[in-house]
């Protein structure tokens, strides 16, 4: 009798298991069809379908704007006559200049602060969520700007730059992670490039502000430039009003909160399918493993992902010569071009970069990430060599050619290398380790920028190496090296799902 009951129980269990198995298979098929339908959307269709997400991405875009304005306020103010009079020195010929050590410290230590901010952003955002940490870094930025605004000595100004750099690094790392986690498949590249676009727009705005005050000789001229960082740096506090990342909520076991977040993001559009797909990916990544950590970024296939992301950021942050170009206004001042003309050319260059990025929203997926990166690095090598060669032309025409080419190259770098690295980094990161991988990538970018920003002034400055435009030859060589490595390392991720990228990560 007991045997008969046992047989019936086993049959019932088997039927339930088969039913669950069939249900899982149907869910997988539905999820696959759902993702394929998303991939087949045009960019315009995806933008109309996901208007809410584009609106909520305002917050990470504000993080990018904070970064963009800080880049200009930190570097271009060095070329303001009022700043030179207040913090500069006079050489034997009676010309004003910034000593190389302080040029290096002010620019490079800001990048070091960004590295520490990126490092802190990873575990903090993993523990407390993306929104609250973005707001915390915004408050730190307000404090750092206060020190810069009130600084009367070089040391206090340096302290303010480091603190604000810490905040900017954290905002950039956490903001880009949030954007990548809420971005729908079809708009991944466009949303990440939107971050770059906002950063470049604010760099252009920053240059415009400095240009408006460049003829003034009183300290208020550069203090106004610093003070406007209060406005830009406080805007990420609006993160209070956006939904938390559903990826983070699910990783913390808060399924209902994740569902509510997806509802706000997607306006009740296939919420359960999106939730199931996200849960399936997270479950596969966490199976048999503990919570993600920085250490885990360097194990197994995650090491390959981290190394590739690091190459992208080290390349775009240092090897392509971005540090040299970011100091182009002060550099052009040292080789004889008037500050007003340098700012005018710079504003035009950033406008060109904005146009290039906007065009890239349409063609990036068509061209492909890998191809765009390789074209950017190789083109950069040629342009840097031309800049170096123009140093042998001592005429004013040669100087103007260098100025124009440097600013065109900034636009080219932003469109090809910088936007590609910002797009591919979150794509190559696993969901579970995305914040850690992103933070580590921005640490690498900040450290490479710190290294090159510190060294480059000693190359071109009149009181050091005095290479002038011949510095271009150095970065032509580093670009050739970067291209050689990238050819064998950088994969193509355009149009791929998380599962597709997981598959190619094993073979990176």
Tens digit of pLDDT for each residue in 344-354? 888 888 888 88
pTM for the model stands at: 0.74
Q: Where is average pLDDT lowest: 38-47, 73-82, 165-174, 260-269? A: 38-47
Most confident of 5-14, 138-147, 214-223, 428-437: 138-147
Residue 461 CB burial class (10 angstroms; 0-12, 13-18, ≥19): buried
Q: Give how far Cα 121 sits from Cα of 126, 142, 425, Å.
A: 8, 17, 16
Most confident of 51-55, 112-116, 160-164, 442-446: 160-164
What backbone torsions phi and psi does residue 81 show, to the nearest 5 degrees?
A: -55, -40
Tens digit of pLDDT for each residue in 135-187? 999 999 999 999 999 999 999 999 999 999 999 999 988 998 899 888 887 78
Structure-block tokens of residue 78: 């060095």
What is the pLDDT confidence band of residue 497, given thresholds at 50, 70 and 90?
low
What counts of helices (H) and strands (E) characterise the chain? 23, 2
Q: How far apart are CA 122 and CA 480, in angstroms?
A: 32
Q: What structural domains and CATH numbers belong to the chain?
A: 58-242+292-429+433-506 (1.20.1250.20)
372: CB partners within 8 A, 6+ apart: 364, 416, 420
Q: How far apart are CA 204 and CA 257, in angstroms?
A: 39
The pLDDT, as a whole number, for residue 320 is: 93
Q: Where is average pLDDT lowest: 33-37, 107-111, 181-185? A: 33-37
Q: Give how far Cα 256 sits from Cα of 87, 236, 252, 269, 271, Å.
A: 56, 26, 11, 16, 12
Tens digit of pLDDT for each residue in 306-331? 888 889 989 988 899 988 887 787 78
Q: Give how far Cα 96 sits from Cα of 77, 83, 87, 176, 311, Å.
A: 14, 10, 10, 40, 38
CB 322 within 8 A of CB 451: no
Higher pLDDT, 422 or 124: 124
């Amino acid at each position: 009798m007991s045997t008969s009951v046992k047989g019936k129980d086993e049959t019932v269990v088997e039927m339930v298991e088969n039913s669950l198995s069939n249900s899982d298979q149907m869910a997988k098929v539905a999820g696959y069809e759902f993702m394929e339908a998303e991939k087949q959307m045009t960019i315009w269709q995806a933008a109309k379908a996901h208007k809410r997400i584009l609106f909520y991405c305002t917050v990470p875009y504000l993080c990018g704007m904070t970064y963009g304005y800080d880049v200009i306020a930190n570097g271009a103010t060095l070329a303001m006559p009022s700043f030179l009079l207040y913090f500069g020195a006079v050489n034997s010929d009676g010309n004003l200049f910034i000593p190389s050590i302080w040029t290096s410290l002010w620019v490079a230590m800001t990048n070091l602060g960004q590295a520490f901010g990126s490092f802190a952003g990873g575990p903090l955002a993993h523990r407390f969520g993306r929104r609250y940490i973005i707001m915390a870094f915004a408050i730190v930025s307000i404090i750092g700007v206060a020190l810069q605004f009130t600084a009367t000595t070089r040391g206090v100004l340096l302290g303010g730059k480091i603190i604000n750099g810490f905040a900017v690094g954290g905002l950039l790392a956490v903001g880009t992670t949030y954007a990548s986690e809420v971005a729908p498949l079809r708009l991944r590249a466009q949303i990440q490039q939107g971050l770059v676009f906002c950063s470049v727009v604010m760099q252009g705005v920053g240059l415009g502000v400095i240009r408006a005050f460049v003829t003034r000789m009183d300290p208020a001229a550069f203090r106004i430039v610093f003070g406007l960082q209060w406005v830009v740096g406080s805007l990420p506090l609006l993160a209070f009003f956006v939904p938390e990342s559903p990826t983070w909520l699910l990783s913390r076991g808060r399924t209902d909160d994740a569902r509510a977040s997806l509802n706000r993001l997607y306006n009740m559009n296939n919420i359960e399918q999106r939730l199931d797909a996200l849960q399936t990916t997270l479950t596969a990544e966490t199976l048999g493993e503990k919570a993600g950590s920085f250490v885990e970024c360097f194990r197994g296939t995650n090491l390959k992902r981290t190394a590739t992301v690091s190459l992208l950021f080290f390349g775009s942050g240092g090897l392509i010569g971005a540090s040299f170009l970011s100091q182009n206004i002060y550099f052009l001042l040292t080789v004889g071009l008037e500050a007003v003309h340098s700012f005018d050319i710079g504003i035009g260059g950033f406008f060109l970069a904005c146009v290039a990025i906007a065009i890239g929203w349409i063609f990036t997926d068509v061209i492909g990430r890998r191809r765009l990166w390789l074209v950017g690095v190789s083109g950069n090598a040629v342009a840097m060599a031309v800049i170096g060669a123009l140093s042998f032309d001592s005429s004013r025409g040669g100087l103007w050619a260098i100025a124009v080419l440097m600013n065109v190259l900034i636009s080219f770098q932003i469109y090809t290398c910088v936007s590609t690295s910002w797009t591919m980094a979150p794509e190559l990161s696993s969901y579970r380790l995305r914040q850690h991988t992103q933070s580590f990538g921005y640490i690498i970018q900040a450290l490479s920028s710190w290294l090159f920003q510190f060294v480059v002034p000693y190359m071109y400055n009149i009181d050091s190496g005095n290479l002038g435009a011949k510095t271009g030859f150095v970065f032509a060589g580093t670009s050739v090296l970067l291209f050689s490595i990238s050819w064998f390392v950088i994969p193509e991720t355009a149009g791929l799902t998380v599962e597709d990228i997981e598959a190619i990560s094993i073979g990176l």
